[in-house]
A and B are shown apart, each in its own frame.
Chain A
Amino acid sequence: MSVYKHEYRAYEGRLTPAWSRIAVLVRYGMAEAWSSRITIGLLTLSMLPIVVYLVLIFLANNPIARAVIMRGSSAILSINATFFLRVLISQCWLALVLTAWIAPRLVSYDLADNALPILLSHPVSRVGYVVGKFIALVSYLSLATWIPCLLLYAYQGYASAAPWMGANLRIAIGVLIGCGLWITLLSILGLALSSWVKWRMMATGIIFAAVFVPAGIGGIIGAILRTKWGLLLNLPVMMTQIWQRLLGVSAFNRIGAGLPNVAMAGALLLLGLVCVFMLNARIRAREVVRG
């Protein structure tokens, strides 16, 4: 066949389903995250509190250990909603550290090396790209948050002499929703900030700053304008309140107790929308050449 007869023809073979294309991004995203030894180190570090909590549950449920160490008193260590709130808080703050390390690895390299035009020239949409990275990050954060928390819950149910799991189902649901909310928020925030900062090292710092600096600004608003609404900028306080309410613990932390659920939900939703807007503005198949 002569050369001029080689015309463009659309591919007529079998197409892969759209979800499986996202799965490729997830697979490569996870491989990128796990390629660093620091990632493995951080995950190991985030398991250390779980080991401590596991030992505490064992002690609380073992009559001999209770008799020897706690002299038979069960008041010192009771496994209840407050205990699981402490587990939840410690794991969720460790998840912030993990996010600050991993999220920039997932996005910044693609942007810094101008790889987005190449990636998006494949049959993957911009939404698919973000969803792929999001799932990779959420999967990783799940390993440090709700999975170990629910394993502790299951172990407590197994170790407790009295029927415990059914009576404390709210704890499991609260932990699941609380962790889910937090890791969703962290993932979208981490990806959005990483997409706006070209340097990975800066992205790591900015993820921390994005959580703590608005908290400080909220404190200033509250102190100067004499209003409680400044706390809506304080993510640590707001999330602690949400976790408390989900688990049904009222006397853990009083700061932010006056914030209504609707206001907190609105603030989180607004934050999520801002992140989506940031991602929409940055995740585009374009190359910027300066100089």
Chain B
Amino acid sequence: MSSKKSVGFLASILEQPWGLWTLQARRLARIEVRRNMLSWKATWIYFLAFIPTCIIFIHLLVDRHTTTALTEDTNVLAGIMQFYYIRLGVFFGCLGIFSRLIRGEMVERSLHFYLLAPVRREVLLLAKFIAGSISAIALFAAAVLADFVLMYVGFGPAGQEYIFHGPGLGQLEAYLGIMVLACLGYGAVFLLLSMMFKNPMPAAMLVMGWEAINPVMPSLLQKISVASYLRHLMPITIPGDGIFALLTVQTEPVSAGVAVLGLLLLVGVVLAYSCVRIRRLEIRYTTE
């Protein structure tokens, strides 16, 4: 009986117009990606992503790269990923990109155009999320790649040896993976917050505070944090110093697979709840 039911459920899922939904999502995502990446309003996100690249480039031009400095520079790069990108760059970048997707349309009084179109609201939401993710991942992953290359290119053969025959490529892979997961995690959270609150920024600042105090929370509560999952994926961990100590997440060691799955599960749950919320979304432009 139960197998019959499950077969019926599966059949009903397969009967859905997936082709149409995919086409609609692709079109919507294309519009959003263009708006997120190619407008002058997006320049500040480029600034957030590429300012460390500019500083590393100056370092490449100005400083001498002795072989002894390789370890130090590797630690500095890890610190940039840990303290700048995850805590500040990706956080504020995703806050700007993802809170614009739904709430920005409401402020500009243009969301009703989407809602009046014959598109399922879930498709609209997921397409916007995908578009925001593509923009954020493209920018921050490109920035990380540029940072990595510029950091080691000055060392010449020693740098090449470190990258291609040492732990360099593995670290780069880990950093890129962390950027992708950070963009997805923070993106999902900020998309939900932008639907829940007229001004999602105070809630976003609470999220920032939550991420900061998360290490002192019980292990169950630590699972409701993006940065705590990312921490386990860091190839090199830099202990916080001074004010950065406040931003350091220290959790029990978890395997990389569990951390990735945990974060993806968190993203999935947040997106599922966002889909439920958008079904009940009502626009009152007069109160915006």
Contact = CB atoms under 8 A, between A and B. Distances in A.
Contacts of B58: 225
| Among all A-B residue pairs, the 7 with the closest Cβ atoms | A204-B201, A255-B242, A216-B88, A205-B201, A201-B199, A216-B84, A209-B92
A220 B201 contact: no
22 contacts: A100-B201, A201-B198, A201-B199, A205-B92, A205-B99, A208-B205, A209-B88, A213-B92, A216-B83, A216-B84, A217-B51, A219-B83, A220-B51, A220-B55, A221-B55, A223-B80, A225-B55, A225-B63, A234-B243, A236-B243, A237-B242, A237-B243
Given A200-B199, A204-B199, A208-B205, A253 B51 contact: no
Most A C-beta atoms less than 10 A away, residue of B92, B201, B208, B242: B201
A141 to B, nearest CB: 17
B34 interface: no
A255 B87 CA distance: 20
A237 B87 CA distance: 17
B270 interface: no
Given A202-B201, A205-B204, A226-B63, 10 more contacts: A201-B200, A204-B199, A204-B202, A205-B92, A205-B95, A209-B88, A220-B84, A224-B55, A234-B243, A237-B243
A229 B217 CA distance: 36
A216 B87 contact: yes
A253 B242 contact: yes
B52 interface: yes
B60 to A, nearest CB: 10
Interface of A: 38, 97, 100-101, 199-202, 204-205, 208-209, 212-213, 215-217, 219-221, 223-226, 234, 236-237, 253-255
Given A225-B62, A236-B243, A213 B202 contact: no
Given A217-B51, A223-B76, A205 B96 contact: yes
B51 A223 contact: no
B69 to A, nearest CB: 10
Most A C-beta atoms less than 10 A away, residue of B51, B58, B63, B87: B51
Nearest to A225: B59
A254 B242 CA distance: 9
A127 B10 CA distance: 68
Contacts of B62: 225
A225 B80 CA distance: 13
Nearest to A254: B242
Size band of the interface chain B makes with A: 35 or more
A237 B243 CA distance: 8
A217 B55 contact: yes
Interface of B: 48, 51-52, 55-56, 58-59, 62-63, 73, 76, 79-80, 83-84, 87-89, 92, 95-96, 99-100, 103-104, 107, 198-202, 204-205, 208, 242-244
Contacts of A213: 48, 88-89, 92
Contacts of A208: 92, 201, 205, 208
Contacts of B244: 219
A212 B104 contact: no
A253 B241 CA distance: 12
A99 to B, nearest CB: 12
A223 B76 CA distance: 6
Nearest to B73: A224
A223 B73 CA distance: 9
A266 B242 CA distance: 24
A216 B52 CA distance: 10
Nearest to B194: A201
A215 B88 CA distance: 10
A53 to B, nearest CB: 21
A97 B202 CA distance: 9
Given A200-B199, A201-B107, A225-B63, A97 B87 contact: no
Contacts of A224: 55-56, 59, 73, 76
Nearest to A224: B59
Contacts of B80: 220, 223
A199 B89 contact: no
Contacts of A100: 201, 205
B103 A201 contact: yes
A223 to B, nearest CB: 5
A49 B205 CA distance: 19
Nearest to A101: B202
A199 B200 CA distance: 12
